[in-house]
Amino acid sequence: MRPTKLSAKVFYELPGMLARYLEGGKNLWMESLPREGKLTLLNRPGAFSDLESLAVERRQLLDILGHDRARALLYRIGFEQGRRDASRHYAIFSQNARLALQAGPVFKQLQGRFVAEPPRFEFDLDAKTLYREGVLLGNVEAQVHRMIQDAPGECVCWGTAGYLSGHVTEVLGKPVLTLETECVSDGAPACRFISKLSAEWGGEAEWARQAFRLEPVDREIARAAEGVPVEVSVKDSATPSGGEEDDVPVAPPEIGIDGFWARDASMRPVVLRARQLAVSDVPVCIVGESGTGRETLAKAMHAMGPRSENPFVVLDCIGMDADMLARELWGHAPGAFPGAVRASMGAATRAHGGALYVNEVTRLPLDVQGGLLRALEDRRLYALGEDQPREADFRLIAATQSELKEALDEGLLREELYYALTAGRIAMPALRNRGSDAGTLAASFLKEARLRHGRPDMRFSEETREVLLDCAWPGNVRQLRNAIEYAVLVAQGPEITPADLPEEVLVTRMSRGPQELNRDVVLAALRQSRGNRSEAAERLGVGRTTLWRAMRRWGIE
C-alpha cells in the first residue's frame, strides 16, 4: 500500500539508487546509433530536438491557438506525460512513493530539461494538505519562450507545471495542481514551482482547472457561429472510485467526444482515432465485445461528422436469416416475395445522406456484403423486385466482435470489404480493461437513474464502490448501466448497498477463485492497485504467491 502520510518539512539528499543517474560529467545512459537513425535514453527510444525547433513549435501553437488555448494545451500535455512517467517510476522503484516522487525531476534532468534543487515537501493525507516547492535551474521551456517573446511579463513554463502536476497526482492518487510562481523568462534567477492539492488553491489556479475543461476548438467555433454562448461543461464528480468531488480528475476529461467519454488512458487511442475518422467518409469498423459502447461511439462520430444533420440508421444483423437481412438492408417492392403486400424502404435507403450502422457485419451473407460495397461505390442500390435504382449515399459504420482478419480467414468476410473496413478500424477495449472507468461510468449512470426515477438522494456505499470496481463486467458497459438502474429501483434507502445489485454482479465478483484468474482479470487488478501486488492479490481474494504464479503464467511483468 502507498503511504498515507509522509514526514513533514524534510529537505533530503537523493538516495544512492537515484543519485547514480546524475553521477559523473557525462551521460552514460544515452545511446546514439546514427546508422540506424535511433537515439535511446535509459532504453527508451526518442529523438533529439534543439531549442530552435522547440521555439518554432511553441510560436506556431501561440499563433494558431492563441495564448490561453496554447497554455491549456501545453499544461495538459505536460500533465499526461507526468502521469505516464510517474506510473513507470512507481513500478521501477517497487511502489516506493518517496523514490517515485524524486525520480521525476531526476529523469527530466537526464533529458536535459533542467537542473532540480532538492524540493521542500510537506504532505499529510489525513489532514488533506500538501505543499511542494521546487526550484529548477536552466529550464529549457523558459529559454524557448524567451526566444520567441522577450520579457513576456508572466510565468510561462506551462508544460513543466503540468508535468509536475501529473507526476505528483499519479504517485499520490490525489488531484494536485502545480503553478509556477517565478520564471527565468520573466527575469527571475530560477523557475520556482509550488504544488498543492487542487482544493487548496484559490482563484489563481483557475486557468489550470479550466485547462482540463476547455471544449475542442471545432465545437466552440460551431457554437459561436450559431450564436450560442460557449460554456464549460463539468461532469458529475461523485465517482465511485473516490467518493470525493475533485476539481481535477486523475485523467483529463478530454478523453471523449460528444455523447461518448471516459477517463482511463486506455481510451485515448480510441477517441483520437474516432476524431480523425469522424470528419471523413471512409468506412469504419468498430471491433470489440458486445456492450462496450460501439453504437454509442458510432453515434458520436456521426454527430461530429459532415453528415450529422442527416439520419443515423441502425441495422442489427443478430437474429436474422439471410433473406430477412437482404430485405431489411435493401427494401423491396410490392410482390417481391410472398407476403410483400406493400413497398418497404430498406435501411440503406433510409440512411441516404447520413450514416448506416451495421451491427455484427460479419453475419451479413457474402453476396449481401458485395452489394453493400457496390452501393458504397455507386451511391445507389436496387431494392428487391425493382428495376430502377434508388439513391443511397451513406457513410458505413460497421461493428463486430470478431477480429476482421479472423473473419476473413474463416470465410465470414469478403476480401474487398475487409480491405475497405481495415482502413477505418477502431479497437474498443472491454470495460474490464478500462481501469477506473467502471467507477466513472457508474457515477454517470447513477445520476441519470436518480433523475429518471425521482430518487435524487441515492448514493453508493463504500462497499458498493469496491464491488463495482472489482467486477469483471462480462456484459461491459451495458451490464453496468442495467445494474445501476436495477439498484436504484430496488434499494430501500438512499444508500445503494451490494445487496441491491443484481445477483450476477455479486457472483462475478465473489466467485473469482485462483483457477479462474485470467490475464484480463490480473491486469485489471494490477491497474486498480497501481502495480501493488499485495493490494492486487487482496482485491482478487488470493494469496500473493497465487497472483505471482498467474502473472508468470500469462507473461505479465
Exposure letters 12-41 (e unless 16+ CB within 10 A, then b) = eebeeebeebeeeeeeeeeeeeeeeeeeeb
Question: 187-217: per-residue pLDDT in tens?
Answer: 899 999 999 988 888 888 889 988 887 767 6
Split at pLDDT 50, 70, 90, the class of 227 is very low
Max mean pLDDT among 12-21, 44-53, 228-237 falls in 44-53
Looking at 111-196, list the stretches that DSSP marks H as alpha helix, in order from N- to C-terminal side.
Answer: 140-148, 158-172
β 331-332/344-345 pair status: antiparallel
β 191-197/256-257 pair status: unpaired
Q: Please state the CATH superfamily assignment of the domain spanning residues 260-427 in this structure.
A: P-loop containing nucleotide triphosphate hydrolases (3.40.50.300)
d(CA 257, CA 226): 19
Region label for 258, one of left (φ > 0), alpha (ψ between -120 and 50) or beta (otherwise): beta
Q: 241 pLDDT exceeds 50?
A: no
Split at pLDDT 50, 70, 90, the class of 226 is very low
Q: 306 pLDDT exceeds 80?
A: yes
Alpha-carbon distances, residue 234 vs 224, 237, 254, 489 (angstroms): 19, 8, 11, 27
> What CATH architecture is 5-211?
2-Layer Sandwich (3.30)
Split at pLDDT 50, 70, 90, the class of 8 is very low
> In the chain, where does the domain assigned CATH 3.30.1380.20 lie?
5-211
Which residue type, as a one-letter code, is found at position 371? G
> What pLDDT does 125 receive?
58
> What pLDDT does 220 receive?
57
Which residues on adjacent β-strands are paired with residue 29?
none
| DSSP E strand stretches across 349-427 | 355-359, 380-381, 390-391, 395-400, 425-427
Q: 181 pLDDT exceeds 90?
A: yes
Burial degree of 43 (CB within 10 A; 0-12, 13-18, 19+): exposed
* Backbone phi and psi for residue 181, each to the nearest 5 degrees, phi listed first: -105, -20
Give the three-state DSSP class for 398.
Answer: strand
Q: What is the dihedral of CA 124, 129, 130, 131, to 10 degrees?
A: -120
Q: What is the CA radius of gyration of the chain?
A: 27
Give yes or no for a contact between 95 and 85, defined as CB atoms under 8 angstroms apart: no
The CATH number of the domain covering residues in 432-553:
1.10.8.60
**Average pLDDT estimate for 133-146:** 93
Q: What is the dihedral of CA 355, 360, 365, 368, to 10 degrees?
A: 0
> What pLDDT does 128 receive?
67
Cβ neighbour number for residue 500 with a 10 Å cutoff? 21
> What pLDDT does 229 receive?
35
Question: 65-122: per-residue pLDDT in tens?
Answer: 888 889 999 999 999 999 989 988 988 888 888 888 899 999 999 999 999 988 888 8
Q: Which of 106-115, 389-398, 432-441 has the lowest mean pLDDT?
A: 432-441
Question: 351-386: per-residue pLDDT in tens?
Answer: 999 999 999 999 999 999 999 999 998 898 888 888
Which residue type, as a one-letter code, is found at position 132? R
> In the chain, where does the domain assigned CATH 3.40.50.300 lie?
260-427
Half-sphere exposure of 91 (CA within 13 A, CB side): 12
β 380-381/390-391 pair status: antiparallel
Give yes or no for a contact between 213 and 256, defined as CB atoms under 8 angstroms apart: no
Pick from 39, 37, 16, 14: which is nearest to 29 by CA?
Answer: 39
d(CA 152, CA 62): 13
Question: 498-541: per-residue pLDDT in tens?
Answer: 888 886 676 565 444 444 566 666 776 777 677 888 877 776 66
Q: Which of 134-143, 225-234, 491-500 has the lowest mean pLDDT?
A: 225-234
> Between these two residues, 511 and 177, which has the higher pLDDT value?
177
Which residue type, as a one-letter code, is found at position 331? G
Which residue type, as a one-letter code, is found at position 556? I
**Average pLDDT estimate for 146-170:** 89
Q: 242 pLDDT exceeds 50?
A: no
